[in-house]
Structure 1
Amino acid sequence: MTTTLLLLPGLLCDRWLWSGLRPALGERSCMPLDALTQDDTIDAMVETVLAQAPPRFALAGYSMGGIVALHLAARAPERLSHLVILNSTARPDPPERRIIRDEQMARAQAGGLEAVVETEFMPLYFAPGPTRPTTLEGLVRAMARHLGPAIFCRQMRALRDRSDARPLLPGITCPTLVLGAAHDALCSVDRHREMADSLPNARLHILEEAGHMAPLEAPTAMAAQISEFLDA
């Protein structure tokens, strides 16, 4: 019996983020968690995930979910069989990003969440191409509307105030896949390489035709890499 794979989404994402990935994983037991909506610190998110998770599991975290996954792996290594970090970073927010987050939260609380998503997030989400992926953009908008400004602000505070995870990386010894994308405008290939170089038991793979929203853009290619890693 294979170990259950828990899936942690990113900022303003829910289980629909995995709508293409889960079928591509075939018969593997997957458990998408909407556990990152209740808390406004990374540490509290870790505790919420641990309370909902089975005794032992594999964990895949996307973007903000990847940050939570790194901290969880350091907090409870005995619970993890495998770790997958998707389109994420181990670094803390730089000061200028913290200021931007505060401005975006203020706009969202004033009724401008959809405008923030449309004008500031959407241009950074997808790989460049001759046409924008309108179906995928619609899914991003729908997830944001579903979660709303209160959850957005909780998640933004957690990201703004997170600690540097880089000192944790050498102590995370479980098998780890660091999976990035060549056109990720938010979490660069260099950030993924930095993580893979610091994790003792990691492999790195870069998806060439995707951007930050790789779980939506390239679910089949991502699922193939995850399945090969978990089955190795």
Structure 2
Amino acid sequence: MSSPLLEYEVTGDDRRLGLLLLPPLGADLRYWDACIAQWRGKISCLAPNLRHRVDGQRPRPVTLEEQASDLETLRAALGFERVVPVGSAISTMAAACYAARHPERTAALVLANATARSLPQAASMLAERAEAVRAGGMAAILPQAVERAFLNLPKDRRYDAYLAAFGRQSAEDYAFACLASATFDASALLPAVRCPSLVVAGEHDVLLTPALGQEAAALIPGARFEIMQGAAHFLPYQRPEAFAALVDSFLASTSR
């Protein structure tokens, strides 16, 4: 099946290398705004909205392979020679799938709050969320769905902005995203990744724990693993300055 051209934003003019920034479940490309502000003038950034459903007479959830195909279609259309996929939470599996399937176009890989697969308990929770929002709208899972992702962090303006954006999204689109994510499994793809790789976990992440991140890193040959203090489930959003600096340092080390 041919891949559509995703909604996206690009910053920077250099097409030799760019960060390919993938938002987590329940977020869109605006998730990366604070990080992109840190990278402006240093490296080009390509931030797409991921597709979570395949439309037709009977719409169905998208697969990991289809998401990777979408991303390659977008890269080629925009003329980027190579990219660094940067995934966050569930989208780390799409980032890893892209790296495994398109090694010639992948300069490095960064996974924040990573997991190798959706565990059975997570799949069950995601299915329940899909059912809940279809029955009662996004309000049916708020604020609990967001509070868990910000565990032990202040309910400041960034929390308020995330909560508001989460509640504004289409319940049906979110339901399809949940059902798609519930079936994702990148555990067989991670050993095929051959580029320099960085896996970063959040100290307070109880949804995709540091242990799951370490497990994912162990499957990638030569991957570097770190735990970021003062962050929970969405560390690029919660600690954008620190995360951007860590990515900068990692890319500088790979170029050496």
Settle same-fold status: TM greater than 0.5: yes
Counterpart of 1:102 in structure 2 is 127
Aligned pair partner of 1:114 in 115, 118, 139 = 139
1:33 aligns to 2:48 (yes or no): yes
Aligned pair partner of 1:92 in 85, 106, 118 = 118
C-alpha contact 1:89 1:195 (8 A) present in aligned 2:
yes
Aligned to 1:4, what secondary structure does the other structure show? strand
Residue 248 of structure 2 aligns with an amino acid whose one-letter code is S
**In angstroms, what is the RMSD of aligned CA positions?**
1.8
Residue 74 of structure 1 aligns with an amino acid whose one-letter code is A
Aligned pair partner of 1:123 in 104, 129, 147 = 147
C-alpha contact 1:127 1:209 (8 A) present in aligned 2:
no
1:13 aligns to 2:39 (yes or no): no
- 1:111 to partner: Cα distance: 2.9
1:160 aligns to 2:144 (yes or no): no
Residue 12 of structure 1 aligns with an amino acid whose one-letter code is G
Q: Which has the higher contact order (CA 8 A, sep 6+)?
A: 1
* Alpha carbons of structure 1 residues 118 and 6: separation in structure 2 relative to 1, 3 Å: same
Structure 2 distance, partners of 1:227, 1:63, is 20
- 1:38 to partner: Cα distance: 4.6
Alignment of 1:58-207 (within 5 A): 58-94=84-120, 96-119=121-144, 121-129=145-153, 132-163=154-185, 165-207=186-228
Alignment coverage as a number of residue pairs: 227
Greater shift, 35-44 or 176-185, is seen at 35-44
- 1:182-232 residue CA offsets vs partner (Å, 9 max, x unmatched): 111111111111122221131112111110121221101000000111122
Aligned-residue sequence identity (percent) comes to 27
Counterpart of 2:10 in structure 1 is none
Q: TM-score, normalised by structure 1?
A: 0.90
Residue 70 of structure 2 aligns with an amino acid whose one-letter code is T
C-alpha contact 2:17 2:44 (8 A) present in aligned 1:
yes
Aligned to 2:107, what secondary structure does the other structure show? strand
Q: TM-score, normalised by structure 2?
A: 0.82
Structure 2 distance, partners of 1:35, 1:114, is 23
Alignment of 1:189-228 (within 5 A): 189-228=210-249
- 1:125-174 residue CA offsets vs partner (Å, 9 max, x unmatched): 11415xx32322222223324431122112111111123x2222222110
Higher helix share: 1
Extract unaligned runs of 5+ from structure 2: 1-13, 55-60
C-alpha contact 1:21 1:222 (8 A) present in aligned 2:
yes
- 1:14 to partner: Cα distance: 0.9
Greater shift, 79-88 or 30-39, is seen at 30-39
Extract unaligned runs of 5+ from structure 1: none
1:3 aligns to 2:1 (yes or no): no
C-alpha contact 1:93 1:161 (8 A) present in aligned 2:
no
Aligned to 2:169, what secondary structure does the other structure show? helix
